[in-house]
Copies of this chain bind each other. A is one copy, B any other.
Amino acid sequence: MSFDRLIKKIIETRNPSVAGLDPDISQIPAFIREHAIRNYGETFEAAEQMLISFNTALIDALYDIVPAIKPQAAFYEMYGWHGMRALKYTIDYAKRLGMFVITDAKRGDIGSTMEAYSKAHLGAAKIGKTYHTAFGADALTVNAYLGSDAIAPLSEVCREKDKGIFVLCKTSNASSGELQDVDVSGRTVYEIMGDFCESWGGTEYGEYGYSHVGAVVGATYPQQLSDMRKRLPHTFFLVPGYGAQGSGAADVAGGFDDRGLGAIVNSSRGIMYAYKKQNRPESEFAEAARDEALRMRDEITALISL
């Protein structure tokens, strides 16, 4: 019931970053796409094979230097149940290699429905007298527009199974301010949400002082990220927006505490399609991803005290 497992992995790899796995099959190496289509035709089965081939090669290249992956559910859902089967395969594969898995699904609903989502993504479903794990991530991103009803069932699973959640506070996208920056008697909506995170996290902190309720705070708003770090001392941050969304190490540095902990920075497209930026042949996509992950690690750790 804290982010200790994740933090230990971060310390072990000396790398506070997470590889986002949001594969767009039109962007992955052509040989993977063509191989799958030769096997299965232009079908969902082929898409499933593409996702699995691409993801497992990336995980093989990253697992010893990157503490976590963050699959984005949408990029699997778009291929129907075959895509969801690829999501499960990806999660299992990464966990077997010791990685921490954050499913980025941004779920948020009323209490009875949130119980079902918590079973889907963090816990297990009961069939007869047997429990089965549907997706089984270590942490889940959550949208709390519905208030604490959306959080309570997840906290229960987090306590039972040593899992965590990341609640959307200040997201990395351009229009995030339309609602999140609105001022409410001196506090913005994202600050209100952040204060809720501190409160939902309770007072049982882990070894490093963080609760099981984290927050999503984007790298694209560095001042807000740094302010939020000071404001929310027990809330671990998931920081999107680095790389393809335009932010660099200087933008994320304010998200860390004095020990260089307290945050994990995501890069998805920057790592997945590193071979393009590095002008390397498609066959080297996994090595290129590893090189980019190392570069990102070094760039960030140069600025923090981890």
Contacts and interface: CB of A to CB of B under 8 A. Distances in A.
A279 interface: no
B25 A127 contact: yes
How many monomers of this protein are in the complex? 2
A79 B134 contact: yes
A168 interface: yes
A276 interface: no
B107 A46 contact: no
A179 interface: yes
Interface string A126-155: 111110111100000001111111100000
Given A47-B127, A85-B81, A127-B42, A175 B189 contact: no
A3 interface: no
Contact of A113 (B22, B126, B183): B22
A229 interface: no
Interface stretch (A114-122, A231-239, A291-299): A114-122
A147 B177 contact: yes
Interface stretch (A55-63, A70-78, A207-215): A70-78
Nearest to A84: B81
Nearest to A130: B42
